[in-house]
Amino acid sequence: MRHYVGGGFDASGVPFPLVDPVTGRTVGEVPAASRELVDRAVGAAREALRGPWAGWSPAERSRALHRIADGIEGRFEEFVAAECADTGKPRALAATVDIPRAVANFRSYADLLAGRSERSWHTGTPDGRGALNYTVRKPLGVVAVVSPWNLPLLLLTWKVAPALAMGNTVVAKPSELTPSTACLLAEVIAGAELPADVFQLVHGQGADAAGQWLTEHPGVDAVAFTGESRTGSAIMRAAADRLAPVSFELGGKNAGLVFADADLERAVEGTLRSAFTHSGQVCLCTERVYVERPVFEEFAGALAAGAKDLAGYGPMISAAHRAKVLGHLDRAAADGEVLAGGGVPSFGDARDGGFWVEPTVLTGLPEDHPAVREEIFGPVVHLAPFDTEEEALALANAGPYGLAATVWTGDVSRAHRVAPALDVGIAWVNTWNLRDLRTPFGGVKASGIGREGGDHSLDFFSEPMNVCVKL
């Protein structure tokens, strides 16, 4: 594990342990960046804004993003192995979602940039000769990218790619729990023929460390962050002092609505995916499902049976996170009913030292219960019945979060009526996590600020400027 600062790799700093969540064993060390190293990284990134990078055309930046994508593809198996080692997720998930999506992030923004145009207007003037108004987009400057542990490479590249596309320089800080693919990405970028210091990477752990120093740094012009809502609030306060723009994708307590006219087999299968993919450690996962009363018992029984039969799931990311999840389950078991799971699986091998939690289905809890209101971010879903469409919407829209939701129905009119009425950034109908990278992605309320994806990201990472020429 190394930092990448000033065009070179650096292993300086007091190390902290890297732990395998599958077994709980320490498997390596990560150097913690000093404040001086963070200062150097920001300074180098700022200096690069005035170097050759400033003269690169959109076409040249587009080709550079494709070279980075090529570099990831060329080391595909290394990236998959590193992602699995850090997160404990199954290889099938990393190899079909995380790493291919990282490649797609660079390619999609490269293609969008190459075909992007700005608007112009011919403006009338009193002398009849007119004026030409047109817009140009300029980079924000030095962008801090702080990424989480659940989808480490996917979410890091989701921000790095558009930031570089628009001519910014980037200082990235990955989660201390999952630094490996960020280090590999730095190696790829170092070999992609970009100007020196366009990309920097620093590691750190906890408060009063690299992440905090970076987001508070006066030399940082914008912050892009994915993670907990509480951390987002702290970053926003720090950025407010210098009026730096922020882009946040934060927490969620996502709801699913299952109507009696839905294809129940399809709804159960989809909910098993949406609740338990990566053991529920995805911001888009469904944690509460409301089922129309006539089919509630049938759906609950089928979902519980499916949860008991799940195989190939992974562990929680850390001992601390597992303790949080199990704390919620202990309270839920005392106050409601556990239909499936609720404990720690036993394997009889090295995995018994890891951070595992069984896929869990709960029911019978009141709506104000912590397990229903607070983000658990684990393999836990709560089921409750509803009687009317209006009640279903009220239940789904309650609470502080508003990231995503799913609607399962066979009535196309209801689908178009209910989905837009949900207080979320994205609503799926009869599917889950089907993404087009050109569409807006983000949340409302405590689930985020701004939108990512396609032109939305390119607009955030640039400043529009108007030029008016008198003719």
d(C-alpha 258, C-alpha 51), whole Å: 56
Which of 216, 283, 292, 452 does the annotation list as catalytic? 283
Count of C-beta atoms within a 10 Å radius of residue 425: 22
C-beta of residue 445 within 8 angstroms of C-beta of residue 106: no
C-beta of residue 64 within 8 angstroms of C-beta of residue 192: yes
Residue type for position 412: V
Question: Does the active-site annotation cover 118?
Answer: no
CA dihedral angle for residue 77, residue 83, residue 85, residue 91, rounded to 10 degrees: -60
Which of 83, 176, 216, 249 does the annotation list as catalytic? 249
Question: Does the active-site annotation cover 249?
Answer: yes
C-beta of residue 403 within 8 angstroms of C-beta of residue 284: yes
Residue type for position 103: V
Q: What is the DSSP letter of 321?
A: H
- Label residues 300-309 b or e (16+ Cβ within 10 Å = b): bebbbebbee
Give the start-end residues of each E strand in 154-242: 169-173, 199-201, 222-226
Looking at the DSSP assignment, which residues form a beta bridge with residue 130? none
d(C-alpha 356, C-alpha 22), whole Å: 8
| Residue position matching structure tokens 């600062």 | 5
Q: Is 433 left (phi over 0), alpha (psi -120 to 50) or beta?
A: left
Residues labelled as active-site residues:
249, 283
